[in-house]
Amino acid sequence: MRILYPALSLLLCFAFALTGAQAFAEPYFSPEEVPEAPVRRTTLLSGLDHPWSMAWLPDGGLLITERPGRVTLYRDGKATDVTGAPRVLVTGQGGLLDISLHPDFAENRLVYMTIAEGTEDANHTALVRATFDGRAFGPAETLFRSAPDKTGGQHFGSRMAWLPDGTLVLSVGDGGNPPKRVNGVLSRDMAQVRSAHLGKLVRLNDDGTPVAPPAFDGDAAPGMHTMGHRNIQGLAWDPLRRTLWASEHGARGGDEINRIQAGANYGWPVASYSREYTLPMDVADHHSLPGMADPTVVWEWRFAPSGLLVYTGDAFPGWKGDLLAGGLRSETIRLIELDRDGTPTGERDIPMGDRVRDIRQGPDGLVYVLTDEGDGKLIRLEPR
Ligand SMILES: [Ca+2]
């Protein structure tokens, strides 16, 4: 396929030129053997139960969500329980997931969280917000619920990112692997169904009202921003290139980094590099299709990306403007070097020896990592 691909992509470029459709660059295929990036790892906190996400308070405290429904506040080397965390459905990959402060948190004290909600047989991804007084959350207000409901504990998506205009983008997973079905349709096929939130990015105002691009007028699910995703668990605004990046789980292989453009279709499950879990075959008949956006990066091995940041700090000058993607299965962080335009030019591995669930840049310019299995940890990366 690597040999066929350049010819195929050239043909597609001609087809795009003829039809006036947008041509997408050939995806960057990630190398498997990469040199290690020099960092020191310091464990700040251990004993966390499936930590999922973290958000810094203006006073330097760090809020950490734990999937079974707990929020921990880490400050000055000590951890305390935050009371009043929202009620969640704890099943499989679902529970209390992402956390993010409102851009005007200093004035309005609003904290946004994504959760799994419902029952084992009928559940969805929801966005809630609550005030935080430094010790406890106020009552949770539900701003968004994905529809239709799905069954079981797979693929809630649930990463969120604020855009500079004060709107919020949030991921909703495709609902699960075959044989999971929603309304008689294979869950994963819902990523191409315009009326469902499953397998989409959604864009909302800070009060939860939907924002839709012109491409999705009419029949699309409220707030639908992009479609054709399997399960996005990394989402990061890039202030240098004024763009949004997403890392997305494929099935067996075929994990992706995508540059998000409103109104675009990212192909799942009809254009993908993924292979089936249970059968020795590809999920899709195509790696690329006209009118669908190709990934910027494809991993043909099993990386399982979760957590994504665009590094903008000074502590690691060599990383400025690069992407850092956490990996669950790889138990590494991948440093993806980008040029000025956002084209990948190389990769390095930061081995972590544990499943990486989230990765964030701290106010001090250092990089903070959550590992999720067994004894969950908060780890700080510093220059060596
Ligand atoms: Ca894709």
Q: How far is the CA of 106 from the centre of ligand 1 (A)?
A: 37
Query: Does residue 161 have a pLDDT over 90?
Result: yes
Tell how far the Cα of 294 is from the centroid of ligand 1, in angstroms.
6
- As a whole number, mean pLDDT of residues 321-330 equals 97
Dist. CA 73 → ligand 1 center (Å): 36
Q: What is the pLDDT of residues 221-242, one digit of tens each?
A: 999 999 999 999 999 999 999 9
The pLDDT of residue 112 is 99
Q: Supply 2's token pair.
A: 């690597």
Give the dihedral sign, CA 129/223/325/248.
Answer: positive
Local confidence band at 121 (pLDDT 50, 70, 90 cut-offs): very high
Give per-residue burial for 29-56: e unless 16+ CB within 10 Å, then b.
ebeeeeeebebebeeebeebebbbbbbb
**pLDDT at residue number 24:** 52
Distance 221 CA to ligand 1 centre (A): 20
Q: Which two tokens stand for residue 108?
A: 């309005």
Position 375 pLDDT exceeds 90: yes
Mean pLDDT of 63-81: 97
The yes-or-no verdict on residue 211 having pLDDT over 80 is yes
pLDDT value of position 373: 80
- Phi then psi for 35, rounded to 5 degrees? -70, 155
Distance (angstroms) between ligand 1 centre and the Cα of 372 equals 26
Ligand 1 center to 38 CA (angstroms)? 31
pLDDT tens digit sequence for 274-296: 999 989 999 999 999 999 999 99
pLDDT tens column, 1-32: 344 444 444 444 444 343 334 445 688 999 88
- Average pLDDT, whole number, for the chain? 93
pLDDT reported for residue 173:
98
How far does the centroid of ligand 1 lie from the alpha carbon of residue 250, in Å? 8
CB 101 within 8 A of CB 110: yes
Concatenating the DSSP letter of every residue in 323-343 gives EEEEETTT-EEEEEEE-TTS-
Q: Which residues contact 351 (CB under 8 A, 6 or more apart)?
A: 36, 331, 332
How far is ligand 1, taken at its centre, from the CA of residue 81, in Å? Answer: 39
The two three-digit tokens of residue 148, written as one number: 């239709």
Centre of ligand 1 from the C-alpha of residue 9, in Å: 15
Active site residues: 155
Show the tokens assigned to 26.
């050939």
- Distance, in Å, from the CA atom of 258 to the CA atom of 281, rounded to the nearest integer, reads 24
3-state secondary structure 141-168: EEEEECCCCECCCCCCCCCEEECCCCCE
4-383 CATH fold: Neuraminidase (2.120.10)
User: For the chain, what percent of residues have pLDDT higher than 90?
Assistant: 87
Interior CA angle at 240 toward 234 and 245, to 5°? 20
Ligand 1 midpoint to CA 228 (Å): 7
Contact residues for 72 (Cβ-Cβ < 8 A; gap 6+): 45, 48, 51, 63, 64, 66, 79, 80, 81, 82
Give me ligand 1 centre to Cα 274, in Å.
9
Q: Which strand (E) or helix (H) includes residue 18?
A: helix 4-19
C-alpha 65 chain-centroid distance: 15
For every residue of 69-131, DSSP letters joined together read TEEEEEETTEEEEEB-PPP---BTTBSEEEEEE-TTHHHH-EEEEEEEEE-SSSEEEEEEEEE
Joined together, the tokens standing for residue 133 give: 């007084």
Could you say which DSSP state residue 4 is in? H
Q: Please report which helix (H) or strand (E) contains residue 246, including its range.
A: strand 243-248
Least confident of 7-21, 134-148, 192-206, 234-248: 7-21
Q: How far is the CA of 296 from the centre of ligand 1 (A)?
A: 9
Residue 120 alpha carbon to ligand 1 centre in Å: 28
Over residues 318-322, the mean pLDDT reads 97
Q: Other C-beta atoms within 10 Å of 58: how many?
A: 9
CA distances from 344 to 25, 29, 91, 267, 306 (A): 11, 10, 36, 21, 19
Q: How confident is the model at residue 219 (pLDDT cuts 50, 70, 90)?
A: confident
